[in-house]
Amino acid sequence: MADLFQVIIVANNVGRLVKFYRDVLGFAVTYPESEANLAQENWVTLKSGACQLAIHGGGEVRTSGSVILSIKVDDLDFAAFDLKEKGFDVEPIYEVAPGVKSAKL
């Protein structure tokens, strides 16, 4: 069986997405080696767990449905609270299956 290696998000504002995934969610930048001016980059990769997230510049803005990422956290209630404190809109937590909770940004 194959493992998921990478998810690519095509974006028109690489710097904004890097700030979210690096500064808010704690993903580590793996490329480029220098983080001096990531907003000017056309390709940035970040790592969290087994999968790599790549942000590719030059995309068009889509209002919804272009990418859905599921991120596993140890404490969903705390993660949702923390994101709200940082100014993000977090929808109410709901149960998608017995014992499986979810929330959307």
Could you read off the pLDDT of 56-103 as tens digits, one per residue? 887 776 666 666 677 888 899 999 999 999 999 999 998 877 888 888
pLDDT at 30: 92
Average pLDDT over every residue of 36-57 = 88
CB atoms within 10 A of CB 18: 21
CATH H-level superfamily of 1-72: 2,3-Dihydroxybiphenyl 1,2-Dioxygenase, domain 1 (3.10.180.10)
Global pTM reads 0.72
Contact 2, 51 (CB under 8 A): no
Least confident of 16-20, 29-33, 52-56, 95-99: 95-99
pLDDT at 46: 94
Output phi, psi for 101, to 5 deg.
-105, 155
* 59 CB-near residues (< 8 Å, 6+ apart): 9, 10, 11, 12
CATH 3.10.180.10 positions along the chain are 1-72
Confidence of residue 25 (pLDDT cuts 50, 70, 90): very high
